[in-house]
Structure 1
């Protein structure tokens, strides 16, 4: 299996997109001003057990979909792109696949996702799956909120979660 990578721009900065022959393996929003810093690529290399090769243009189609999404179009990434789930297994994979079913502009609690994923009472495990997802944004973990209706965190960037929730809410309201 070969792996390749490219960068895709987002309002949060460039994201590292890693692809296999089977689909998107990782979409990682950098926590640095420069996403090309070696540690970001080293992290995905360690998890894959292989070194992705640079392929400029590999993320062009994904970038177009991201542009549409950030322009307020209800893009469902799992319907437009194949995901290679190799970096996620067990309940975490079930939870993230359940998260993909949350409609644009809507939210579910961690507990509700746990039920859909087949493990009622595993709300904390859903939170962990969301926090550790290798497919940030394209798997809409930002749509998973606390049972009290508050957004909760989004890694170290709760403002990103609020931005994504507001983007979808505002775009949905303007469509009505």
Structure 2
């Protein structure tokens, strides 16, 4: 059974979903009409705690059970994204190189676009080859705030 919770943050409303003990979705809710089932499972409670710590600059690495729905290729990309260190960025080409497919920059971008577990799978750390911020499901303003947050706390 799917359980969903919402949490208010300085960056906006975050929706977190869990199925069978695994976080399956984490994104910025566009619909302000909350449709949570009201349950607070241990996994959702822990996810909320870790997101709160992250947004306050206290957490740099997440330790949550994840089960993102995607293709095998997308899952490889999402795993690579979780290896990008806190406070650092990589280009789409660099991520493609990380998975041994240096010509797959465009496919990396498409996988980033389908990432269902934002922040924890840090697609916000992927930028254009020219160093510019490009594409983010929650908008470039949120991406910029996440990167600035990490840069401010990277050495603490």
Once the 2 structures are TM-superposed, how far is the Cα of residue 66 of structure 1 from its aligned partner? Answer: 1.0
Once the 2 structures are TM-superposed, how far is the Cα of residue 74 of structure 1 from its aligned partner? Answer: 3.5
Greater helix fraction, Structure 1 or Structure 2:
1
TM-score for both structures, normalised by structure 2: 0.89
**How many aligned positions are there?**
154
Q: Is it true that 1:83 corresponds to 2:36 in the alignment?
A: no
Extract unaligned runs of 5+ from structure 1.
38-52
- Does the CA-based 8 Å contact 1:22-1:84 persist in structure 2? no
Extract unaligned runs of 5+ from structure 2.
none
Once the 2 structures are TM-superposed, how far is the Cα of residue 156 of structure 1 from its aligned partner? Answer: 5.7
1:43-122, aligned counterparts within 5 Å? 54-58=37-41, 59-77=44-62, 80-85=63-68, 87-122=69-104
Quick one: which of 29, 33, 36 aligns to 2:34? 36
Q: Is it true that 1:26 corresponds to 2:25 in the alignment?
A: yes
Once the 2 structures are TM-superposed, how far is the Cα of residue 14 of structure 1 from its aligned partner? Answer: 2.1
Once the 2 structures are TM-superposed, how far is the Cα of residue 54 of structure 1 from its aligned partner? Answer: 1.7
Partner of 1:47: none
- Does the CA-based 8 Å contact 1:110-1:123 persist in structure 2? yes
RMSD (Å), alpha carbons: 1.8
How far apart, CA to CA, are the structure 1 residues paired with 2:102 and 2:56?
A: 35
Structure 1 segments, 4+ long, off by >3 Å, are none
TM-score for both structures, normalised by structure 1: 0.80
Of stretches 131-140 and 53-62 in structure 1, the one that deviates more from structure 2 is 53-62
How far apart, CA to CA, are the structure 2 residues paired with 1:67 and 1:30?
A: 16
Partner of 1:10: 9
How far apart, CA to CA, are the structure 2 residues paired with 1:108 and 1:63?
A: 27
Q: Compared with structure 1, are the counterparts of its residues 163 and 4 closer, same or farther at alpha carbon in structure 2 (3 Å cutoff)?
A: same
Of stretches 110-119 and 54-63 in structure 1, the one that deviates more from structure 2 is 54-63
